[in-house]
Chain A
């Protein structure tokens, strides 16, 4: 049995390429080669599965201004996350550092098959030549790259503290594809579809208060994240600093050190940049973002660490209930879906997600009623589904409850469209038409 090192094979391939014509023979063991090919494929997949690139946001914005679309970064990654330097109106100089720490953490913790992090460097503050607001710039860059998720934030000084807000934003198409649930009514009821989409899609994840003096550690940690060392040790010689525009990936791990590779060099960095205590809370925000990516891959509901903002809990609760809506057995529906929803719909005025729960509850009640009707007929839900006809007064009652709860969010198009469907089935034409009209007005 002959074996060949990959280096020999690569040399042979190079020789073949250089000579333009290759006349060479090599004997290979099929089983070994298949195994090696599989290893290579897995290694390459791993190598290419977690990529990050630092991008100069001004350069990309300049292209967009000229009507050009910037190069698609890490285009083959399934999940592409844009992380923007936090807005820094008080000039702490730490806006980029917070973004670097969060971005790196998302990359490390996401545990999804294929992820690319686009780390936008440079200030997004309005300038005379680019008077767009920070947020407008974020939106433009996010749209141009068609990312799965954007992470951004703001650093403010408050006397002896700094206030750090971290936001996660899910683009409309991602919400539509990954965070929406549909209930198709039986054909006997008209076969229309009810819809619930995650709300809000722009989530205030964390409002963190740090002592002002900790900013130095945060900046130092961010610098350390881009400083590659020869060994996984503090004090080991510096190999390189990651330049802007270079795609890199993780190629190894040693306790809390990770090996980072680019096409030209590799080196080690501490995964937290040495900022464990100060950054622990910040990493919670990153973990939540990573959790949303995991949900897209595996439908596992993200955990919400203590200290995150109420909107994260609202998002996680919606995902949990909606997943139960998909998977709960008919007998368990009352406990796993409806009971939690009764509490969740009591959200206070101004809450970003209050009416969204009312919408889910309406869909859950319809589902429960449909299940009950199916069980009366004795057949399986699937076999009898399209013949089920709920009593119109029951549907009208559910619609009234939803209409009442939705006053807190009067332009929620999902709710208005669902109400139109329900009232139409209940033969309440006037209310169905009103709901249709309001839904149209809300989208204009």
Chain B
């Protein structure tokens, strides 16, 4: 072996040792902790796969426990510049979730997360960018041997009914009118779950209920209505008699149902800071319900708040200048 070749090998060995030492010295073990829950009911989800990923490489994984809780340790090089990692959470019959974890100087931000998984059964019902009324599960009569998709029929009835009434009042432009969406898979197990479903579905109003004897041409439809913003202190109950669900285009729901839904829709406009539309829809509601001058209390509360926030206030003498 020539002298120069020996020297070259020696230099390489020293360099390799130096590199290994540097790597060992700058690696940190990080633990990201959290809990996985059903977004609509808040129920803990056990057995969810939680994976931390850098680009296409999985760094580590863990499974959530019976309480939905997980602790995920993983090693990552300590660097001053930010490294973007993805925390993936997967579970059958839920939509997978991905959260950004930023690691800088060996510290993760965030290092504690609450992951809310959306049930696959309702994920198609979520609309963004427009006002929406989502009709969830409606329980068929006990005597019924089949489970017809009553939600679709109630939604169709409501679409014809409520849209017609808003049109009668010339209220709201077509593009800003609420969409009515059937979502029979949105099946809360308890009243306490209603609001969670409304939030998960990004719905202004979320309806669930029951129908009596399906053998009859005209049925009684019982429904509970909750909004997605906490405006209604508790679900509003409404009962509509003699509803023809066989021909939803002709079905008409009771005024109490309209009042509850329109209150939630007005709240949706308020939530999206469309205060003029909010005032308009309360005016239309007053005329639809025949209560001009004496709005139902919840509706009046929403209207008053929206009036206070109208950009038109800037035109008044007390308006901000």
Chain A residues packing against B (C-beta within 8 Å): 89-91, 125-127, 131, 133-136, 156, 167, 200-202, 204, 310, 348-352, 399-400, 403-404, 406-411, 416, 419, 423, 430-431, 434-435, 438, 442
Interface membership of B199, Cβ < 8 A: no
| Nearest CB on B from A126, distance (A) | 4
| Nearest CB on A from B174, distance (A) | 10
Chain B residues packing against A (C-beta within 8 Å): 160, 163-164, 167-170, 244, 249-252, 275-277, 279-280, 282-283, 285-287, 291-295, 303, 307, 310-317, 319, 321
| Nearest CB on A from B217, distance (A) | 10
Contact yes or no, B160 A201, CB < 8 A: no
Contacts of A399 in B (CB 8 A): 315
| Nearest CB on B from A139, distance (A) | 8
Q: Which 3 A-B pairs have the closest CB atoms?
A: A350-B286, A348-B293, A403-B315
The complex places the Cα of A404 from the Cα of B318 at a distance, in Å, of: 9
Contact yes or no, B319 A350, CB < 8 A: no
Partner of A431, one of B167, B250, B303, B315: B315
5 residue pairs of the A-B complex, CB under 8 angstroms, read: A89-B252, A202-B170, A349-B295, A350-B295, A351-B293
Contacts of B163 in A (CB 8 A): 133
Contact yes or no, A430 B321, CB < 8 A: yes
Contact yes or no, A410 B280, CB < 8 A: yes
Contact yes or no, B164 A349, CB < 8 A: no
Contacts of A431 in B (CB 8 A): 314-315, 319, 321
Partner of A204, one of B244, B287, B307: B287
Contacts of A126 in B (CB 8 A): 160, 249
Contact yes or no, A351 B292, CB < 8 A: yes
Q: In the complex, what residue of chain B is closest to A397 when comparing beta carbons? A: B317
Contacts of B294 in A (CB 8 A): 348
| Nearest CB on A from B30, distance (A) | 49
Contacts of A90 in B (CB 8 A): 250
Contacts of A419 in B (CB 8 A): 315
Q: In the complex, what residue of chain A is closest to B310 when comparing beta carbons? A: A410
Contact yes or no, A202 B169, CB < 8 A: yes
Contact yes or no, B167 A411, CB < 8 A: no
Contacts of B249 in A (CB 8 A): 125-127, 131, 133
Partner of A310, one of B244, B280, B292: B292
Contact yes or no, A136 B316, CB < 8 A: no
| Nearest CB on A from B272, distance (A) | 14
Q: In the complex, what residue of chain B is closest to A437 when comparing beta carbons? A: B311
Contacts of A430 in B (CB 8 A): 321
The complex places the Cα of A307 from the Cα of B263 at a distance, in Å, of: 30
Partner of A134, one of B164, B280, B287, B313: B164
The complex places the Cα of A91 from the Cα of B252 at a distance, in Å, of: 12
Contacts of B170 in A (CB 8 A): 200-202
Contact yes or no, B167 A434, CB < 8 A: no
Contacts of A406 in B (CB 8 A): 312, 315
Contact yes or no, A400 B316, CB < 8 A: yes
Q: In the complex, what residue of chain B is closest to A207 when comparing beta carbons? A: B290
Contacts of B303 in A (CB 8 A): 349
Q: In the complex, what residue of chain B is closest to A169 when comparing beta carbons? A: B170
Contacts of B251 in A (CB 8 A): 89
The complex places the Cα of A201 from the Cα of B170 at a distance, in Å, of: 9
Contacts of B160 in A (CB 8 A): 126, 133
The complex places the Cα of A133 from the Cα of B293 at a distance, in Å, of: 29
Contacts of B279 in A (CB 8 A): 407-410
Contacts of B316 in A (CB 8 A): 400, 403-404, 407
Contact yes or no, A202 B319, CB < 8 A: no
Contact yes or no, B312 A410, CB < 8 A: yes
Q: In the complex, what residue of chain B is closest to A200 when comparing beta carbons? A: B170
Contact yes or no, A125 B310, CB < 8 A: no
Contacts of A125 in B (CB 8 A): 249-250
Q: In the complex, what residue of chain B is closest to A126 when comparing beta carbons? A: B249
Known interface pairs A126-B249, A133-B167; A407-B307 also in contact (CB < 8 Å): yes
Q: In the complex, what residue of chain A is closest to B175 when comparing beta carbons? A: A444
Contact yes or no, B315 A136, CB < 8 A: no
The complex places the Cα of A135 from the Cα of B316 at a distance, in Å, of: 37
Known interface pairs A136-B167, A156-B252; A434-B307 also in contact (CB < 8 Å): no
Contacts of A201 in B (CB 8 A): 170
The complex places the Cα of A406 from the Cα of B316 at a distance, in Å, of: 10
The complex places the Cα of A204 from the Cα of B165 at a distance, in Å, of: 12
Q: In the complex, what residue of chain B is closest to A133 when comparing beta carbons? A: B164
Partner of A348, one of B285, B292, B307, B310: B292
